[in-house]
Structure 1
Amino acid sequence: MLKIGLTGGIASGKSLVAARLQELGAVLIDADLIARQVVEPGTPGLARVVEAFGPGIVDGQGRLDRPALGAIVFQDPARREVLNGIIHPLVRESAAAIVAEAADEDILVQDIPLLVETGQGSAFHLVVVVDAPDDVRIQRMVDLRGMSLEDARSRMAAQASQEARNAAADVVLENTGSREELLAKVDALWFGRLVPFADNCRRGVRARRTNGPVLSASRTDWGLQAARLSSRIQAAAPEDILAVDHIGSTSVAGLAAKDVIDLQLTVADLEVADRIAPRLAAAGYPRVPGVFADTPKPSEPDPAQWQKRFHANADPGRPANLHVRVAGSPGWRYALLFRDWLRAEPSAVALYEAHKRHLAAQHASDPGTAAYADAKEPWFTDVAWPLMDEWANHTGWQPPSYSSVAAGH
């Protein structure tokens, strides 16, 4: 199943988005609703809250007095953490039970107000954030919810900042216009990205790529995107994955590149790579058939030493390549050395970018990037390798060592 984490600041419009996704066919898990259910009268959750905050937070009917509790926790971060420590585990337990009952073909949306604050982003295929400017949200709370200005500001201050939420987002739905405009954005997300993503995962295939070798100017958020993808991939098989590293052109600041994130997943051996392939596919990275090795370089000409496994994105909205290589293998070492050499040497960046632009112009009319990639290979061997090898010897560069970890596999 496809798992979507939905979040947004108070009064951002998240509830409207959740409701629309449910109308379109998503299985919705509402964390706010569950949070209310786990503190209903007679529940262990309510008993623990009363124990922590006193009998004054229960009304005459034995129900939780939310305004009274809110007056305590939204003014005192330490007390808020106590409440979160009681409620969040109960909510996660209930949500997990719903997830366990969902079908493989379902698109499951978890509406979690504090998704970013609780660090749950790596549990989802995508995180969707509903966003609106702070002043707009404050006005909505005052006008539509009857809050005082002070109360509205304190509620906002208790949540993650707009910057932090958007940094955790794969998709940001801006809600500054009309209700109809926001619903149109939700529909476009559902039909244009979520449905094909789920279908690709179900069939175990990568998303289609039809663009030629179009180079984009270097983007400052490529590293942030790579970090999000890496954390999800790592979570797919944490006991077997030694590392996930951002490699390739998008990992080098200032270097023009195709808008494709390249990641290197390090394993102890190829048996591990094959064993975790189904889990990588379930995480949104199915294996691409027919790709078994890199092109040998002078450092180790034996083709057998360059074996790897190759996976790619099922998500049509974020092209990404996942190169699964064995720790210490020549292909693994080359990828890390090439990245670090480019990061350290501006002249190398200029040299490589000029070569890429020349080839991109030659292959501009191609329907894909295969011919462009093949045309780059001689440059990696004849030009890049001698220069980066010299740089490594001069600087004493060494790749990471995973020998102590790998020994346990």
Structure 2
Amino acid sequence: MLYVGLSGGIGSGKSTVAGRLAEHGAYVVDSDKVAREVVEPGTEGLAELVAAFGDGILAEDGSLDRAALASIAFTDDESRQRLNAIMHPRVGARTAELIAEAPADAVVVQDIPLLVEIGVAPVYHLVVIVDAPVEVRVHRLVHSRGLQEADARARIAAQATEEARRAVADVWLDNSGPADQVLAAVDELWADRLVRYEANVRLHRHTPRGAPRLVEPDPTWPAQAQRVISRLRLAAGEKALRIDHIGSTSVPGLAAKDVLDVQLAVAALDDSLDEPLARAGFPLLPGFDQDTPHDGSTPWPKRTHVGADPLRWVNVHLREQGSPGWRFALLIPAWLRADDAARQEYEQLKRDLADKFDSIPEYGEAKDAWFVQAHVRAEKWAAETGWTP
């Protein structure tokens, strides 16, 4: 089963995307529908809202007047927090019931407007954000939903910023143009990513990948790594003593293979995290249970997990905190971030070797000689600067 969080600002067109995903076979849970269900006449939810905001939020037939509630609840932070405290637990409980009814091989899409605001992005294997410029959204709210312009702008202002949404977005869908454009993007997302991702998660496997090529530095690599780290931290819980973005993609300005390397530090290496990490989308990669130091000394033990997302290559290295391999993985990137000459030297080496080898092992072995002397230089830098992991 794959869990997808679908969100975006009011008026962005989430419903259009959710509808298309449902047509493809996604199991869609609409949080807005759930929110209406838990405050229907006669429910405890509605009674608590009335107690908090008064009888003025009720329509003549005793149902909730959502516009009246919004005119009160969206005017200040305190009122909005009071509303959320009433609604979120009830919506969460009902949502869990609906998801429990989904088939084992389902792509579960939760259409959740406040995904960013309530901080649940790490719960999902993938977060999809639908976006459109503010003026486009205001126009839609006024002309399609009948809201007053001031009300539309107030609701938009009360929601998460674009910056906050981009921070959690694995997929960003621009819905500012004709509907057929975003629908085509959804079709591609479904076929190329979601269906394959679901099978990988369910079967605890990853999509076979060819040798990645060297690419120019991507300024979004750190943000992508942070999303991975958030999911790993949730999955590993207290067993994760520390999680770091390591490897070449953690060094700003350094050309690298488009692979995110993350190190998860544990107290002792065992199989206790195999299942939690696999459920989170990071199955174990058998056979990769040690690092061979570049100087040929005694291997450093580890466990390796890989990302199940077919379009995002991730390696997760589990190592004992304080071990030589753990320290080395943190030291080299730190040194390269601090030493411009060393970084340029390493990049030139990578470029010289990238076209000579088709496989990652061969490419890695060709760098061994450089790393032997680089390790010594890095340790000297650490001693001189006082760097510690």
Name the TM-score, length of structure 2 as normaliser. Answer: 0.97
Q: Determine whether 1:268 maps to 2:267.
A: yes
Displacement, 1:213? 4.2
Match of 1:343 in 2: 337
After superposition, the C-alpha distances for 1:114-137 in whole angstroms (9 at most, x for unaligned) are 100110100000000011111111
Q: Determine whether 1:394 maps to 2:388.
A: no
Partner secondary structure for residue 326 of structure 2: helix
Displacement, 1:297? 4.8
Match of 1:98 in 2: 98
Whole-angstrom CA distance in 1 between matches of 2:386 and 2:221: 28
Asked if 2 retains the 8 angstrom alpha-carbon contact of 1:213 and 1:360, the reply is no
Superposition misfits of 4+ residues, deviation over 3 angstroms: none
For residues 319-358 of structure 1, the aligned pairs below 5 Å read 319-358=313-352
Q: Determine whether 1:292 maps to 2:289.
A: yes
CA RMSD after TM alignment: 1.4
Whole-angstrom CA distance in 1 between matches of 2:143 and 2:367: 59
Whole-angstrom CA distance in 2 between matches of 1:334 and 1:394: 17
Give the letter for the 2:387 counterpart.
W
Whole-angstrom CA distance in 2 between matches of 1:78 and 1:100: 33
For residues 3-402 of structure 1, the aligned pairs below 5 Å read 3-210=3-210, 212-271=211-270, 274-297=271-294, 301-303=297-299, 306-363=300-357, 366=358, 368-381=359-372, 383-399=373-389
Whole-angstrom CA distance in 2 between matches of 1:93 and 1:206: 32
Partner secondary structure for residue 367 of structure 2: helix
Whole-angstrom CA distance in 2 between matches of 1:240 and 1:100: 27
Whole-angstrom CA distance in 1 between matches of 2:109 and 2:26: 6
Partner secondary structure for residue 214 of structure 2: coil
Asked if 1 retains the 8 angstrom alpha-carbon contact of 2:307 and 2:315, the reply is yes
Partner secondary structure for residue 290 of structure 2: coil
Partner secondary structure for residue 285 of structure 1: coil
Whole-angstrom CA distance in 1 between matches of 2:43 and 2:234: 33
Partner secondary structure for residue 19 of structure 2: helix
Q: How many pairs are equivalent?
A: 389
Displacement, 1:370? 3.0
Whole-angstrom CA distance in 1 between matches of 2:336 and 2:149: 51
Whole-angstrom CA distance in 2 between matches of 1:203 and 1:66: 43
After superposition, the C-alpha distances for 1:340-361 in whole angstroms (9 at most, x for unaligned) are 1111111111111111111112
Give the letter for the 2:193 counterpart.
R
Cα gap change, 1:275 to 1:159, in 2 (>3 Å): same
Asked if 2 retains the 8 angstrom alpha-carbon contact of 1:267 and 1:327, the reply is yes
Partner secondary structure for residue 36 of structure 2: helix
Asked if 2 retains the 8 angstrom alpha-carbon contact of 1:213 and 1:372, the reply is no
Give the letter for the 1:378 counterpart.
A
